[in-house]
Amino acid sequence: MDKTTIYQVSILLLCSLLALSIWIMSPISVQAQTLSLEHLQEDYRQAQVRSQQLNAQIATLDLAQQQVSDKLSATEQTLVYGQKRLAQQTQIVASLRARVRRDQVITEKFTHKVQFAEVQLRHFVQFWYEQGSLPYIDVLFGAHSFSDFLYRLSAMTMLMQQQKQLFVKDSGYVRAFHSLLIREQKDERQAQTIFVNIIAEQEKIAAASKKERQVIAHVEMLKSVTKTNRSQQIVRMQRLASQISAVEVEQARIAAQQAAKKAKAPQIASASVILNQSTITNDLEMAVADTGVSRSWVPWLLLLVRYESGGNPSAQSPVAVDGEHASGLLQMLPSTFASYALRSHNNIWSPVSNAIAAIRYIQANYGVPWNIPGIRNELTYRGY
Let me know if 316 is exposed, middle or buried by CB neighbors in 10 A (0-12, 13-18, 19+). middle
pLDDT of 183 = 79
pLDDT greater at residue 21 or residue 324:
324
The dihedral built from the CA positions of residue 368, 374, 376 and 379, taken in this order, carries a sign that is negative
- The highest-confidence range among 60-64, 164-168, 174-178, 251-255, by mean pLDDT, is 60-64
Cα dist. 119→43, 107, 123, 162 in Å? 110, 18, 6, 13
Tell me which residue of 315, 349, 348 sits closest to 245, measured CA to CA: 315
Distance CA 194, CA 95 (A): 13
How would you classify residue 379: left for phi > 0, otherwise alpha for psi between -120 and 50, otherwise beta?
alpha
CB 334 within 8 A of CB 280: no
The amino acid at residue 141 is F
Residue spans of the domains in the chain: they are 67-228, 268-384
Fold of 268-384: Lysozyme (1.10.530)
- Hey, is 319 helix, strand or coil? strand
For residue 147, pLDDT over 60 is answered with yes
Distance CA 197, CA 204 (A): 11
For residue 53, pLDDT over 80 is answered with yes
pLDDT greater at residue 118 or residue 46:
46
pLDDT of 134 = 52
- Hey, is 312 helix, strand or coil? coil
For residue 10, pLDDT over 70 is answered with no
Show the CA angle centred on residue 251, arms to residues 246 and 254, nearest 5°. Answer: 125
Tell me which residue of 347, 312, 344, 345 sits closest to 330, measured CA to CA: 312
For residue 131, pLDDT over 50 is answered with no
pLDDT of 258 = 65
The amino acid at residue 91 is Q
Rg (Cα) of the chain, in Å, rounded?
Answer: 54
Percentage of the residues of the chain whose pLDDT score is greater than 90: 20
pLDDT averaged over every residue in the chain: 77
For residue 345, pLDDT over 80 is answered with yes
DSSP output for 211-269 = HHHHHHHHHHHHHHHHHHHHHHHHHHHHHHHHHHHHHHHHHHHHHHHHHHHHTTS-PPP
C-alpha dihedral, 108 to 114 to 118 to 123, nearest 10°: 90
pLDDT greater at residue 365 or residue 35:
365
pLDDT greater at residue 177 or residue 11:
177
For residue 141, pLDDT over 70 is answered with no
For residue 300, pLDDT over 70 is answered with yes
Condensed to tens digits (0 to 9), the pLDDT of residues 319-341 reads: 888 889 999 999 999 999 999 99
For residue 61, pLDDT over 80 is answered with yes
- pLDDT bin (cut points 50, 70, 90) of residue 267 is very low
Catalogue the E-assigned strands of the chain.
Answer: 316-321, 324-327
pLDDT of 171 = 65
Condensed to tens digits (0 to 9), the pLDDT of residues 208-240 reads: 888 888 888 888 888 888 888 888 888 888 888
For residue 129, pLDDT over 50 is answered with no
Distance CA 351, CA 347 (A): 9
Cα dist. 97→55, 103, 183, 271 in Å? 61, 10, 12, 101
CB 340 within 8 A of CB 360: yes
* Range 34-38 contact pairs with CB under 8 angstroms and sequence separation of 24 or more: 34/251, 36/247, 37/244, 37/247, 37/248, 37/251
For residue 292, pLDDT over 80 is answered with yes
pLDDT of 340 = 95
Q: What is the pTM of this model?
A: 0.39
Contact partners, residue 281, CB within 8 Å, separation at least 6 = 298, 302
The architecture CATH gives domain 67-228: Orthogonal Bundle (1.10)
End-to-end CA distance of the chain: 62
